[in-house]
Homo-oligomer: A and B are copies of this chain.
Amino acid sequence: MDKFLSLPKEKQNKIIDAALTAFGTNGYKKASASDIARAAGISKAMVFHYFGSKKTLYLYLIEFCGATLEAEFNEKLGAVNDFFDRLKMISGVKISLMKKHPAILSFLTSIYFERDKDVQGDIEAILAKGGSLRNKVAFDGIDTSKFKDNIDITLVMKMIYWIGEGYAAQSAHQPDIDYDVLAQDMNACFELLKNSLYKEEFV
């Protein structure tokens, strides 16, 4: 593992992204070391030289994602109480995550649904430990009084959630996407909803 960490950062990232993509799209079992090596432009032997085993690599990726996520959140997530401002922050976090590691979001959702017995226990342990993150993005303490009175806020949140999942799915399939355009679209989306759903004195 220290073998890997002493590599130049650029090479580390190439390997990480290759592995995130492979595991994210194929799951733990069906992602092979050869796939990862090929995508990273190294030989399969190096994968094991750096990480020792496929499982070690997988667990390292989870840890890496956790750290990356946390760092990004700590950097960008301030104390914002407005619903849409917080949404913009979250989508900003997602976008900059994807700029650094395009496959990170699809990998993160994939570990959530991973069922392979080789790793499921370890995943649960790690996720349980890192549950604190979720608190920071949860939508409590939100000022709902700004919405028009007849708006079903639960529905709005579902809708927002679907939008987020949808654009994550799109970017997973379309690797050469322009993230700045995506960010603009997302923010325009939120602006549109805000203008439409807030009472007029708050838009």
Contacts and interface: CB of A to CB of B under 8 A. Distances in A.
Interface of A: 25-27, 30, 109, 113, 151-152, 155-156, 158-159, 161-167, 169-170, 173, 185, 188-189, 192-193, 196-197
A119 B155 CA distance: 41
Copies held by the complex: 2
Nearest to A148: B196
A163 B155 CA distance: 12
A193 B165 CA distance: 19
Nearest to A110: B173
Given A155-B189, A162-B166, A162-B167, 9 more contacts: A155-B185, A155-B192, A159-B189, A161-B166, A165-B166, A165-B170, A166-B169, A169-B169, A192-B197
B170 A162 contact: yes
17 contacts: A25-B27, A109-B173, A152-B188, A155-B188, A156-B192, A158-B185, A159-B163, A159-B189, A162-B162, A162-B163, A162-B167, A163-B163, A163-B166, A165-B167, A166-B167, A192-B197, A193-B196
Contacts of A26: 26-27, 30
A116 to B, nearest CB: 13
Contacts of A109: 173
- Top 10 nearest A-B pairs by Cβ distance? A162-B166, A166-B166, A196-B196, A165-B166, A162-B163, A30-B30, A169-B169, A162-B167, A165-B169, A159-B189
Contact of A165 (B151, B152, B161, B165): B165
